[in-house]
Every structure is written in C-alpha cells, then in structure tokens.
Amino acid sequence: MSEPESDARAGLGLFASLRRLLSTALELGHTRLELASVELEAELQHVQSTLLWSIAAIFSAAIALLLLALTVLVVFWDTHRLLAAGAVTAFFLLFACGAALLVRHRAQTRPHLLAGTIEELKRDVATLDGVRR
C-alpha cells in the first residue's frame, strides 16, 4: 500500500470518528433536552394544580369564615358585641399571619427547577473529565 492511500484512509477514519463523536454528543444533548422538557411539564402541571386547588380553597374558606364571623356577631349582638367583633378580627389576623408564614416556608423549601437535568449534566461533565484524563 502506498503512503498517500494510507494517509487518505487515516483521514477518512478521523472524519468517521469525528462524525461518531458529534453524533454521540447530539444524542446526549437530545436526551438532556427531553429530560428538561419532562421536568418543565411536570412542574407546570404541579403549579397549575396547586393554583386551581388554592383558589377553590381560598374561596370556600373565605365564604365559611365570613358566615362564621356573622354568626358570632349575631349571637353576641345583645351582650358583648364589641368583644365578639374584636375576637373575630383577632382570629382573622392570626389566620392571615399563619397563612403568610406557611407560604414563605413553602417558597423556601420547594425543589429547584430542573434539578434532575442539572445533576445529569454534572454527571456527564464528570464522566467526560474521567475519559480525558
């Protein structure tokens, strides 16, 4: 075999290797994008469901609390109307503070968006670092 033919074959082998490397990198990127899209869809569904049920709960609770407040005021109207109004107001204030604390806690402890995708990318980088060394 002559020298130019072996150089040509080596060049073709190099291009084939580069093509396979690019193909593998694209497949890896595609897989990571699919994982990210699945995580985003799950997060969106979770947010939608939570929002819908939160609105329903808030509306129902508001109606119930309004009716409870009116009931307490009617019952104590003749004897202790100011005490009853103050107690109802204090209850609503404490409830609002508790709800605000709960919302803050939930906001601070929620899982990070795309945490699974980020972990997979870190593993990919670590694997590629191991291959290069």
Q: Where are the domains of the chain?
A: 39-132
Q: Is the pLDDT of residue 125 over 80?
A: no
CA separation for the pair 58, 51 (Å, rounded)? 10
Q: Which pLDDT score is estimated for 124?
A: 76
pLDDT in tens, 12-69: 778 888 888 888 888 888 888 888 888 888 888 988 988 898 899 889 988 998 898 8
Q: Which pLDDT score is estimated for 79?
A: 92
Q: Which pLDDT score is estimated for 63?
A: 92
What is the b/e burial string over 63-94, where b = at least 16 CB atoms within 10 angstroms of the residue's CB?
Answer: eeeeeebeeeeeebeeeeeeebeeebeeeeee
Q: At 131, is the pLDDT very low, low, confident or very high (cuts 50, 70, 90)?
A: low
Other Cβ atoms closer than 10 A to 45? 10
pLDDT in tens, 79-121: 998 998 888 889 888 988 998 899 888 888 877 777 777 787 7
